[in-house]
Every structure is written in structure tokens, then in C-alpha cells.
Amino acid sequence: MPDHDLSGSSRAITAVYIPEPIALDPLDPAWAQTPETIVSLSRRIHETGAKMVAMGNENRRIRVKVVHNGTDIFFSYQWDESVPNVTVNDYSFFADAFAMEIPLITEVSPIWMGAMDKPVNIIYWRADLAKPENIVGGGIGTTQISPDAESQNIRHYQDWDHGVWTLIITRLMSAASQNQISFVRGATHRLALANWKGGNDAERGGNKIISDWQYLSIK
Amino acid sequence: MEKKSTENGLPVKNTLSLDLLEHISEPMGKYPYRGWETVYREHWKYDYTGRTTHSVNCAGSCTWKVYVKNNIAFKEEQYADYPDINPTLPTYNPRGCQKGANYKEYVYGPQRLKYPLMRVGARGEGKWKRISWEEAMRYIADKIVKTIANHGPDTITFYSANPAKFAITYAGGLRLANLIGGVVCTFYDWVSDLPPGEPVTWGVKTDSCEAADWFHSKYIMVWGSNLLETRIPDAHFLTEARMRGTRIVAIFPEYNPTSIHADIFIPIRPGTDGAMALGMANFIINKGLHDEAYIKQYTDMPMLIRMDNKKFLRESDMILNGSPEKFSIWDQNTGKLVLAPGTQGFLGSQDWTLNLGPINPALEGVFTAHTISGQIHVTPVFSLLKQKIAAYDPVTVSGITGVEGYLVEQIAREFASAKPARIIAGAGTNHYYHNDLTNRSHILLAALTGNVGIPGGGFDHYVGQEKIWCEEGTFDLASPLGYAKQRYQPTTLWTFIHSHITSDVDNLWPRPIIDYIRESVHNGWMPLYPEGTLDSGKSPKILFIWGANFLNQAKGVESLSANLWPKLDLIVDIDYRMSTTGLYADIILPAASMFEKWDISTTDLHSYINPFTPIIEPQMESKTDWQIWQALARALQETKFSFTDTLPDGTTVNRDFSTLAHDFTAQGTLTSDKAAGQFILDNSVETRGMTMDGINEKPRRFVATSEEFTSDIKDGIAYYGFQRMYELKQPLSTLTGRQQFYIDHPWFLEFEEELPVYKPPVHEDKYPLRWITPHGRWSIHSMWRDAKYQLRLQRGQPIVYLNPSEAAARNLIDNDAIDIYNDHGKMIAHLCISPRIPPGMALMYHGWEHYSFRKGGFQSPTTIRIKPTQLAGGYGQLKFKANYWGPTGNQKDTRVEIRKDKNG
Amino acid sequence: MPCIMHLVIHPYLSLRGFFPKQSPVEYANIYIRIPSSVSMERGIIMAIMKQIRMVFDLNKCIGCHTCAMACKTMWTDRDAGQMHMYWMNVETQPGTGYPKDWENQGGWFNADRNTIPLPNIYQGYGAPWEYNYKEVLKTEGGDTSAPKLFPSPKPSEHHYASNWDEDVGKGTFPNSYYFYLPRICNHCTDPPCVEACPRQTIYKRSEDGIVLIDSKRCRGYRYCVKGCPYKKIYYNPEEKISQKCIFCYPRIEEHKGNFCATQCVGRISWIGYADDTNSNIYKLINKWKLALRLHPEYKTEPNVFYIPPLSPPTYSFTGKLTNSPRIPIDMLAKMFGDTHDQNYDQRATRMKQIFDILQNERNKVASGGNSELIDILISRSEADRFQV
């Protein structure tokens, strides 16, 4: 597996356009035609109470592919995880989780869950949940699962195999509600990723590792 | 609100969740998202509520409110609407316990019986076939008719426990038994909750005060009655009395929940309570702390005893045609021997009173009496008592009980000086072989100090069913042909004989136990069914069990299973839950639960009546017990069977089944459960003028008491016993009309038990640990023993508490699987090591179902030991009456050994 | 209605260590939670208008668990994730308690936050036993042979139960001792759970001071479970959120008592509002100073108070009754006190003081006198116990 050095990289991710039906399947031929970008998650957040603190550098790499057909957009995320954490059936167990965050109304929002006047749209996946959640955030501690049914239109594929999590998230490109960002061909969105390893010192909530803003171009 | 739009200009379709986002600037008092709080408000919503109680044999009789939503009874709450007796007394509210708080588990849980079942495999094998009610009823009716024809009606036996907990349900089975000639088994003596010393001394089954009267005591010795654990709804009266300065003395072998709230804990060796009581009595008499005026008037202490034959000096000794029920006292004022007023011989005359008038009886001295056969010496009972209990000096008592002599004296002095003072006793002292002697010694203490008959004072025994309110109405309903026409069977005797128990206590008596049994049965002192059992080996054939778990709870269960059970051609269990008894029955009939029927519940712990009501429909195919017995009466009616039945008293009854269902319902007037309940209310003085709807509206306090009681019920006064004796000078129903400590029945004299004496617990099991199986907090007998919400607050399976030193001596560690065994049987349980248990004792709370043990049951190490004094009859108050006088099935004299289970 | 603003200044702020080592500038926008009206030397101004309080008299507690079952059957018997929860529990003390060893686990204000454990269900809270009823009882018929009823998982010191050491106690017979300790959420004046929750999902209601978790916003992160030193917040793995005692607020709103109090058949509890000087809780706590906090050194200022337990005297080696209560004052002083800054000696002195007051007032009434305190402790009417 190539080890990309991201220092000085453009942090650019391209959503490739393939004008064909695409299946929610890692084996769909569309993926073979889509370049992979490595996103480095190196901002370590530790949470004590509501206070979040960056705790130095760590580098968790997410292999990202994005593809769309003009109607639906697919995000593929892969990362290494030696032991998956999928159940939370006891106090000390936390599930692996992943989130992608995009500014909702403005182009720029604070990376920490946005702000009240600069909200963000988050798609949050957790290994033990039935489906990813559409979330809007207006700052730390404010995130809220979108209450409307339309925003629950996100489908996903998840699989852990041989030390690798594969997560594919898909939804219609056009927003189903005001609580979602619309993906329009030609546009560029800021995109930040977050990852939680449930088995690593109970990562959950603010105890996580996140990326800097990336730039997602919709071809 | 300003409309927002995305930068992509998409139309606004939904509520933007961002609109809902708010700064949580301060969660301490200014939280913005409180709309979610409706969640729990919704949980608390309900469609309607109803009133019920629980027919478990705890003597709680607590009124509960049941909340129903979508036809599901989802929540139980103590109703807490008992009217207060008076504002100076703590209220009875709330009233309930943690088990009653979750009875719904049985209503909807996997234990609930849903359909009639018929056994298809071997008994106890667990193979069942679902059958219809019609099939079940036809099958049972057919068996009954054939059994009567071939073996007689007294081979059909009915067992249930305690009308107080469910009067209609109880009466249903008895009513059918009464009509067909069946035998009704007793329960109060069998479960050893009957304190035989009370009928002996007082001529009552019991007459304990209601719990509120505890508040009036200045001194309470809680003696073998673990009130805090076994009287949960009433315990607050004790802790509240303590707050107002009542001194609480806890006398128990182990440090238990009641002891923790005592002012003094007195650890006593198990089964030696009588010795301590007599030691105290000895001290009280020696120091002159007894109430002389009281014992002269209200006890037999002044009654003269013939020194030649140890019998009472009777009028019949002195004059021809004199009454054998008139007794003498020595009047110090006149220096003459006079007849004591108020004895049985004066019944109906104006001398049937405890008023002594000018008589001042002597308590001590030797006097001369002139009898038909010459001059003899006589002496008062008190003299004899004083001599006899002199043996219980502090050193001796300390040696027996393990209680320091100074403490015996200190407690005796305090008790005698703190009127009103009370002894509260229970199973802890009563489940021993010599329970009658311990009872008598306890009552002696209360009487010597003048505490019986006053508020806050006396000897009050609480375990099991005790006296029953509305007894008259209940038994009128139970006995359409009359109480006298009912065959009653003391169950201890019946089980002992039909289980072929081998007596291991013959060495304690001049003759073998079986001789006393034969004599008692042949004298007609105790019945034994079927008639001819002892001579021709007849045996019972059919057993109905309802509202009880007879097999699980039986002493000597190993012999019972091996010998009695196979004699039975048909065992029918009627219950709403599957129990050990059900598992070993032939036909199971599913009964309505306590949320599904009208019934009546009472207790002597309070003076109110509260009903069961049908809050929800009987679930699945279940029916109320009253309807089940009716259905059986209908099935029997269809057989048109008839026979002539000769009762033990020689009278005959023509039993014609072709009208049986009509007879059962009193020509249709008692068809409904509610009508049966109203019948009870209408026919009991306690509930004069009350209606079933009225008591559903709110529990009512009883308005009167029957002659079974020793006091009237009075507005504003908590009920306590013996007011008629103390205030109205009305004699008791004992031979002497008084609290009678001297019993000159020939057997009592033969056994030297004419006065209270101490006899040690039975040591016939040659094993080191006393096996104590008390009532506990987590079950009412076997009820809730299998209920997981209760079990989750325990260790989940049967445990035995053992002292650390006993555990160490056997190389046991906490939670080890252990065998508990002796010559009678063996069981497997788990160990709980606790320093609250003294060495030499193993304690397991009773009632665990057999199926909760890998092997055996909690009664496996027990046997049945009959004490001959309790077979006595033909003497004043000593005459058989169901649940009043009969041999007790005590079990605390059992001893066991414990070892690690090899399959650990 | 009097409006009382509770001002809480935290003298132990430095213990909490929430300041980042990194420059505050870079992460300045992280600190948005801190109210702008309050300085960085955090104190909290709370808009708590009334505070509900509860007193338990341990001299009346009979350990019957009716409170626990009243709570359980109302609030925590709905799904499998609640089976291990007892928002109201009763434990034997001395004992391991519920969850096991909770007194040694710590909370947000009294322990190193990184080392506070999260107890697991079976080993910590106790296994909610399940049973093979259907196999054994066959209430619908059937033809398997009858096996025995057994709990799953198999009970052991690992598969603990919430009340495992009930009535075990300590000491050497006959001087054995124990008492019952009923526990609910303390609805603390300074609730550490509120502080621990990163999502600000936990809050204190202004109208009664009841502390609640917003079940819609909770994400089940369990910081609050760690944060509470009394371990009175539970995680529901089925609903994936944390849950806790709600002081039966739907009933308080109807001016009915909370179930654990109204259903307390031992009649050991009183409820009322802290500022109601006519209430019995005020009299017991503030006037007679008879009721203490459980572990006030945890610094959360609980609003549940306890009247400590008397106990029968011990016996000396020679079998003589002593004057020493069998529950060591030492043990009680370590458990109960008035405030977080009292030292051990002060707490032990208070304990003896309380016992003296109790004995004096008992004696006074026994010899015919009147005592306001004893009248409250008896509380002849239910109206004496519930003043909400």
C-alpha cells in the first residue's frame, strides 16, 4: 500500500463523474476508474467535559474515493483497524465511527462543528448504528440529528475484512432538505473527516482524530 | 421566522434543524431543549386504574392500585388510602412491599398458566397435553364419582392455605368438599404457624394486636419474629415506636434486619427461648416484680391443685354431682376455700365473670380441702410455678441459652418495670418441636407483669394466618351444609401417617408416638381420614390443591414424595402459576390472577377490609377459582350420581349430585364471584352494611368483631386482644376461664408439662449445624422465589448463610456449591459467608422451589415430628378444631452437615 | 415565591485541570461552553429557582427494596438495556455496594479523570439474571423432560449481582454489624455529570433543581458515568444512551412525591424544597442538623441527605454490654458529613452529636415530653413526609 507523504499536498479530492448507474458495492466497476486520495487525520482531540484539546500529532490515514453519476454521489472510505469495534453492549465498549463534515450554508465554517451562523452538515456513521445520520452542527455540543424524514436518505455499505474497514456512503446529490448540502457539478466544498477507534482508549464524541479541511471538487 | 436558504438556492422544504439549534449557555437552569421531557410524562400516562391486593400468605393484605394502559396492567402502586385510626398514631399508609410492587410479572410472565393441562408422561416427568376445560372437568368428575363409589368420599382431600388471603377462592373448594363429603386439610398447624401455647393458655387460635398498637408499647422484646424482613408493611410501627422512646430488645440467634434497629441485640442459642423466658419469670417472681392483683384475677395462678394427684381441685371432687369444670381458690379474706367464678362450669350463670368481688385469693401456701374421698392438701398454681421455675436460675439459664445471667436479669427487670410491655414472637420461636412450651413461657411473662389486655402490652404472635376477620361469612359460604358437617383433617397427622414417616422422637416420651396417635384417633380427639386408616390401611385417593404449593413446602418431603404421592390416583392443582406442586400433579387448571377477579383479603396486622377486583380480564383460558369449582359442580351434576354418606358423628347425609350445581350457587344467587363476596360481607358482623363496591371505593375499617375475638373494635383505638377479659371481666374460653398456665390433662401430667417448663430442642439428627429456614424478604413462601425481578436483587439461586468459622472449618469459600445433608435428605445450594450468623447454624430463607435446586428441596433434610401434647383432646380448650388445635409440622429442630459439592 | 440564586464558586478549580497545555489562542474557539458572563476562573451562576431535597432516615430503613422495585417497574423495565439499572437501589453497608466498589471509582471532581473506570454490567452492576422458564415450566404443554431452573449467566464473583452481599456485613459474631443504604441520584447542587458531558446534554431544571439527561440529545458517550462519583448514571446499551433517576419529575409536576419516596413502606423518606423553612426536610437538615450528606468530600453538594444509623451496642470479651454502637463511628464518619471541607474529626464529632440528639429526644418523649424532632421522624401522616 503506497504511503503518501501529505506534507505540502494540495488536500484536493476529486469526485469523479461516471454517467452510469453505480451500485452500493465496493466491487462496482466505477471505483476502478476513480483515483484514491489519502487523507491524513492528525489532529488529535481529547475531551474532558466539554473542553476539547489538541493533543499532538498522530497520523491516521483514510483512503478516500468519491464518485458520482450526476444523480447520486458515493464516498468510499477505507482505513486500517486491526480489531473492529462494532458492539456497544457494555459500559466499556465503544464502536468505531467515522464522520464527514461540510460547511452547510457558507463556504467556510469553523472545523469544530461549525458555528451558529456558520453551520456544518455532518454525515456520521457508527459501526453499531443501523444507518448513517445526517447531522447539522452549529458549534461544539450543538450537533443535532436532523429531525426531518427527508434527511434520513443516506444509505451505506460497511465491511471489515482483514484489518481494513470499508465504508461507502451514498445519497442523492441534491439536498433532500435544508439540513443537507447539495452537491452540484463544478462546485468545490470544504470537507473534513473524523475517525474514532472505539477500542483505542474509548474514542467517542470529542475524543477522536480529525483532518484539516480538504477540498472536494465535484466534476 | 426568517426563511433561510442554502447558497445553492434550493427551495426550503423542511424545518431546518439549525433553527432548533441553540446555544446552551448554561445547563444549570437554562437548558433550551426541554421538549424531550414529554418522553417520561408519556410513560406515566395511563388509561385507567383499579384496586387489588395479593393472595399470598404473608398476612400483609395491602391495598394496591394497578395502572392499565392499552389493556396491559403496567404498574402497581400502593394505594395508601387506608383511613387513619386516630391522628396520634402513625398511618397505615403506604402498605405493601417490593414483591407486591411487581406481581405483574406473574400475570404476564412465563410462569403463568394459560390452559388446562393433563399429564401424559410419568408424574413429574414434565410431559403435558393441552386439554379443553370440558375435557378436564369431565375427567375429574368421572374420577370423583368412581372414587366415592369404590373408596368413599373421605378419600377425596382438599388442601388450600388461608381464607384470610382470598376468602372466596378458599371457600370455593371447601364448598364443593362440603357438598360431596370430601376432607378439608388444615394448614395453620401443618405449617407450624399455629402457636399451640395460645389455645392451651388462652383458648384462642391467636389474638394478636394490629400493628398500630405496637406504637403504644414502652418496651418491646422482638423475640424470634424478624419483623423488619417478614412484616415489611408493618415494620415502620416498630421503628416509629423506637423513635418515641420505646426500648427495642431483639432476641434472635442471628444478627438480622430486625436486630439492626434494636437498642439491644441478645444472641440466644437456637431453640432455647423458653429457658430464657422462664429465667426472666423466675427473676420477676423472686424480686416481686410481678403484678399480683392482675394474676389473681386474670390467670389461674390462685387455682388450687391437689397435691396428691396434681389435678385441679374440682367441685366434683368435693360434692356429689359437683361440676368438673368448677375450680377452687383460697380466699384470704375469709380463710376459706371458695369456688372461683368464671370457670367453664359457670357458663351461662351470673358467676361466669372474672369479677372476684370480695374474694382475695391466695397465691401461695398449702391448704386443706375436704373431698368426697377425704382430706387432702392443696396449693395454688402460683406456688407450684414458683417452685418449678426456681430451677431457672441465671447460671442455669445462661448455660442453656448462652445469654449472660446478668442480661437475663436486666431484661427481666426492664420488661417488668415498663408497662405497657410487649413480646412479639413468630416463626423464629414457633417452628420448634416444643413450641407449645415456649409459647406458654412467653405468655407467662406477659401475664405475670399484667400486660395482657392493655394497649401496648401482651404477647403477640405473627406468623401465618392467625385469627380471621369475617370468619363467619367465609365459613357460611364454605359450608352450605354447615361447619359441623364438614370433615376436617389435621394435615400434620394425615401427612405423617400417609407418608409412612418413621418417628425418631419416640425416645423422648414414655410410649412410642404411634401409640399416642392411636389413642388420640380412637378417643376421637383427632380425626384421621380416610376412616380406618390405622386399622385397615386405607389411603387417600384424590387430592385437590389450590392457592397453595403443598408439595414444595412440605416437611418430610422425601417420604411424602416416595410414599404418599403414589397412593393418589389423581392430583389436581389449581393455580395461576406453575409451581413444584403443579409439576408433580396430574391435571393443572389455570386460575385467574389477582388482577382478574373479585375477592376479599384481610389480616390481623390491620383492621381494614380491602378487595381484589377484576381490573383486567382473566388472561388466556384462565378462570377464577370460584368459577372453576362451579364448573366442576356442573360436571358432577351431569353424572347424576348419588349416595348416602355417614359422617363421623353418626349422622347421614344423602348426597344427590343431580342438583349439585344448583346447591353450589345457592340456586343461582351465588353464581358470580362478586355475589359470593357480598355473601361473606352480609354474613359477617365485621362487615355489617358493607358492599363489595363500597370496599372497592376505599378500604373500610371493621365495625365489630365476632366471638372468635377477645376484644371489640372501637373507633379511634388500634385493636389489641383481651379487652373483654381485662375491661369487661369476661372469662376466656379456657377450662378455668382465665389465662391458664396449669393444664391437668393426663398426658400433660405424664410428660411433666402441666406448667411451662423448658425442654431442649430435638437433637435427633446427629449433625453439627442447625438448619434454619426462616421467612425472608424476597419471597412469600414459594411465591416470587422464581420471579426474576426479585432474583436479580439476590444471588440468583438458593444460598445458605454460614458463619466464617464454619466455612473455614470445611474449606469453603463464598459462593461454593455445597451439599446440605442429613439422614432425611440432601440438597445442593450455594454458600454465602456472613458473620451475622452464629457458629453452629446454617440459614437458608425458605420457599425455594424444588426446581431451583440441582438436587433436593429446602425441606429435604426435614422430617415430621409430632409432639403428643398436641394430639391431646377431651379437655376444655384442648379439642380438635381445624387450624386451631392440632399437631404442628415444626422443622427447626433439624440438623445438617455441609460439604463442598463434588461437582462444585 | 422566593427566588434564590445559588452561586457556586469552585475553590477546587485547579484540581480539575481542564486547561490545555497548548496555547489557548490557537484553540480559543474551543472554549465556547464557558458562559461569557463568567470569568475563566470558572464559577457558575445558576438560575436554579428551587431545589428539591430528600432525606432518608437510616434508622427506619428496613432494606425491603420496595423503593427500588417501585422505581424499576415504573422507569427501567422497558427494554433489555435497562435491566441492570436501579436508579434507586438499596445496598448493605459495609459492603461492595452498587455498582461494585463505587466508592473507590471516583468522579469528575475527586479523581484523575483519565483513570476513572467504567464498570461493566455483569462484573460491576450485576448480572440481570435470565432464566430458562419455558423449558422447566412448560405452561403451554410440551414433552421435554423437566430440567432445573437456573440463572444465566452463572452466578459467581465475576457474574456478580447488584445486591450480591445483602445482609453479609462485617464484624465478628455477636458483634456483627451492617445497615441499609438507599441511594438515588443526588441531584447535586454542583453536578459533575453536567460538567462531564461534552454535548451539554445534562442539565439542571430551574424550577426544582432536578438533574436530567436529555435523552434525545444524548449520544451515549458515558462521560457522565465517569463523572458521577456516586455512579448514579447508567448506560443503556440497547438505546445507546445514558439514563438516570429523574426524581419522577412527571409526578413532582403534579405535586405528587417521587415513587421511591411515596412507595417507601418503611416511611423513611421526606421530600421538600430547600428554601421552604417550614418543610420537614429543612428542619431535619438545617434546623436540627440531623441529616448528613453521603461523601460530601466528592464535592458535588448532594441534595439527598441521610440520618445516620444508630446500632445496638457491642459486647465485650467478657460478654458485657458496652456503650459502643456496633457500627463503628469511624466507618460512619468516613461515609457521611455536612460539607466537603470538614475533616475527619469534625465528621466524627458530628456523628456523635447526632446520636446524642436522637437519644436525648427519644428519652424526652419516653418520659412524657414533646419533641418536634421526634414528631417529624415519626411523621404520623403522609403529608408530613411529602411537602412538594
Can you tell me the distance from the alpha carbon of B866 to that of A85, in angstroms, rounded to the nearest whole number? 66
User: Mean of the pLDDT values across residues C302-312?
Assistant: 98
Strands (E), B523-635: 542-546, 570-575, 587-590, 596-601, 608-614
For B29-39, write each residue's pLDDT tens digit.
889 889 999 99
Q: Is B26 on the interface with A (CB under 8 A)?
A: no
How does residue B19 score in pLDDT terms, banded at 50, 70 and 90? low
Q: Would the CB atoms of C83 and B836 count as touching at under 8 Å? A: no
Q: Would the CB atoms of C379 and B104 count as touching at under 8 Å? A: no
What's the domain count of chain A?
Answer: 1
Contacts 24+ apart (CB under 8 A), C355-361: C355/C308, C355/C310, C355/C325, C357/C288, C357/C290, C358/C59, C358/C290, C358/C310, C359/C310
Domain B197-290+389-461 CATH superfamily: Dimethylsulfoxide Reductase, domain 2 (3.40.228.10)
How does residue B423 score in pLDDT terms, banded at 50, 70 and 90? very high
Which residue would you say has higher pLDDT here, B455 or A52?
A: B455
A35 is in which domain, residue-wise? 12-218
**Has residue C16 been placed in a domain?**
yes
Residue A59 has a pLDDT of 83
Residue C10 has pLDDT above 70, yes or no: no
**Has residue C217 been placed in a domain?**
yes
For A30-65, write each residue's pLDDT tens digit.
999 999 999 999 888 776 554 555 656 678 999 999
Q: Which three cell numbers stand for residue B470?
A: 369475617
For C123-169, write each residue's pLDDT tens digit.
999 999 999 999 999 999 988 766 899 999 999 878 889 999 999 99
Backbone angles phi, psi at B790, to 5 degrees: -80, -40
What's the domain count of chain C?
Answer: 2
For C206-264, write each residue's pLDDT tens digit.
999 999 999 999 999 999 999 999 999 999 999 999 999 999 999 999 999 999 999 99
Residue B11 has pLDDT above 50, yes or no: no
Residue A106 has a pLDDT of 77
Select the residue of B34, B126, B835 nearest C172 (Cβ to Cβ).
B835
Q: Is B758 on the interface with C (CB under 8 A)?
A: no
Q: Would the CB atoms of A47 and C22 count as touching at under 8 Å? A: no
Residue B15 has a pLDDT of 47
Q: Is B794 on the interface with C (CB under 8 A)?
A: yes
For B519-559, write each residue's pLDDT tens digit.
999 999 999 999 999 998 899 999 999 999 999 999 999 99
C76 is in which domain, residue-wise? 6-125+161-387
Residues 6+ positions from C154 with CB-CB distance below 8 Å: none
For B496-509, write each residue's pLDDT tens digit.
999 999 999 999 99
Chain B residue numbers with beta carbons less than 8 Å from the beta carbon of C85 are none
For C31-78, write each residue's pLDDT tens digit.
223 332 332 333 445 678 899 999 999 999 999 999 999 999 999 999
CATH code matching the domain that covers B46-108, chosen among 3.40.1710.10, 3.40.228.10, 2.20.25.90, 3.50.50.60: 2.20.25.90
Q: Would the CB atoms of B7 and A107 count as touching at under 8 Å? A: yes
From the CB of residue B12, how many other CB atoms can be counted at a distance below 10 Å? 12
Residue B17 has a pLDDT of 60
Q: Would the CB atoms of B851 and C380 count as touching at under 8 Å? A: no
Domain with residue C17: its CATH number is 3.30.70.20
Q: Is B15 on the interface with A (CB under 8 A)?
A: yes
Q: In 3-state terms, what secondary structure has residue C241?
A: strand
Q: Would the CB atoms of A88 and C220 count as touching at under 8 Å? A: yes
**Has residue C1 been placed in a domain?**
no
Residue B465 has a pLDDT of 72
Select the residue of C33, C219, C220 nearest A140 (Cβ to Cβ).
C33
Of chain A, the percentage scoring pLDDT greater than 70 comes to: 90
Cell 482483514 belongs to A162
- Based on the fold, state whether residues C172 and C148 are members of the same structural domain: no
Chain B residue numbers with beta carbons less than 8 Å from the beta carbon of C126 are 792
For B562-620, write each residue's pLDDT tens digit.
999 999 999 999 999 999 999 999 999 999 999 999 999 999 999 999 999 999 999 99
Q: Would the CB atoms of B6 and A175 count as touching at under 8 Å? A: yes
For A178-209, write each residue's pLDDT tens digit.
899 999 999 999 999 999 999 988 899 888 89
- Based on the fold, state whether residues C136 and C19 are members of the same structural domain: no
Residue B714 has a pLDDT of 97
Domain B117-193+470-593+624-632+639-658 CATH superfamily: Nitrate reductase alpha subunit (3.40.50.12770)
- Based on the fold, state whether residues C83 and C137 are members of the same structural domain: no
Q: Which three cell numbers stand for residue B766?
A: 446427629
Residue B571 has a pLDDT of 98
**Has residue A113 been placed in a domain?**
yes
CA distances from A181 to A43, A73, A92, A174 (A): 24, 12, 35, 8
Q: Is A176 on the interface with B (CB under 8 A)?
A: yes
Decide: residue B480, CB within 10 A, 0-12 exposed, 13-18 middle, 19+ buried. Answer: middle
Can you tell me the distance from the alpha carbon of B477 to that of B172, in angstroms, rounded to the nearest whole number? 8
Q: In 3-state terms, what secondary structure has residue B136?
A: helix
Residues 6+ positions from C63 with CB-CB distance below 8 Å: B228, B229, B257, B777, C90, C92, C166, C167, C180
Residues 6+ positions from C232 with CB-CB distance below 8 Å: C87, C183, C184, C185, C186, C244, C245
Q: What is the ipTM of this complex?
A: 0.95
- Based on the fold, state whether residues C138 and C69 are members of the same structural domain: no
Strands (E), chain A: 12-17, 37-48, 51-68, 72-80, 97-103, 120-126, 133-137, 144-145, 155-161, 164-172, 188-196, 208-211, 214-218
**Has residue C216 been placed in a domain?**
yes
User: Mean of the pLDDT values across residues B153-180?
Assistant: 97
How does residue B814 score in pLDDT terms, banded at 50, 70 and 90? very high
**Has residue A214 been placed in a domain?**
yes
Q: Is A195 on the interface with B (CB under 8 A)?
A: no
Residue A40 has a pLDDT of 92
Can you tell me the distance from the alpha carbon of A21 to that of C84, in angstroms, rounded to the nearest whole number? 49
Residue from C91, C139, C367 to probe the interface with B (highest B Cβ count within 10 Å): C139
Select the residue of C73, C141, C313 nearest B130 (Cβ to Cβ).
C141
Select the residue of A147, A177, A181 nearest B13 (Cβ to Cβ).
A177
- Based on the fold, state whether residues C150 and C172 are members of the same structural domain: no
For B352-397, write each residue's pLDDT tens digit.
999 999 999 999 999 999 999 999 999 999 999 999 999 999 999 9
User: Mean of the pLDDT values across residues B287-299?
Assistant: 98
User: Mean of the pLDDT values across residues C342-351?
Assistant: 97
In Å, how far from its chain's centre is CA B855?
28
Residue C33 has a pLDDT of 31
Select the residue of C72, C145, C377 nearest B125 (Cβ to Cβ).
C145
Q: Would the CB atoms of B7 and A151 count as touching at under 8 Å? A: no
Q: Which of A65, A86, A87, A63 is nearest to A74 (CA)?
A: A65
Residue B255 has a pLDDT of 98
- Based on the fold, state whether residues C56 and C112 are members of the same structural domain: yes
For A18-34, write each residue's pLDDT tens digit.
999 999 999 999 999 99
Residue C9 has pLDDT above 50, yes or no: no
**Is the Cβ–Cβ distance between B332 and B369 less than 8 Å?**
no
**Has residue C282 been placed in a domain?**
yes
Residue from C56, C66, C160, C246 to probe the interface with B (highest B Cβ count within 10 Å): C66
- Based on the fold, state whether residues C133 and C258 are members of the same structural domain: no
Q: Would the CB atoms of C45 and B78 count as touching at under 8 Å? A: no
**Has residue A4 been placed in a domain?**
no
**Has residue A22 been placed in a domain?**
yes
Q: Which three cell numbers stand for residue B648?
A: 363421623
Residue B883 has pLDDT above 70, yes or no: yes
- Based on the fold, state whether residues C147 and C16 are members of the same structural domain: no
Q: Do domains B46-108 and B117-193+470-593+624-632+639-658 have the same CATH topology?
A: no
CATH top-level class of B769-900: mainly beta
Residue C334 has a pLDDT of 97
Domain with residue A22: its CATH number is 2.60.40.1190
Q: Would the CB atoms of C118 and A53 count as touching at under 8 Å? A: no
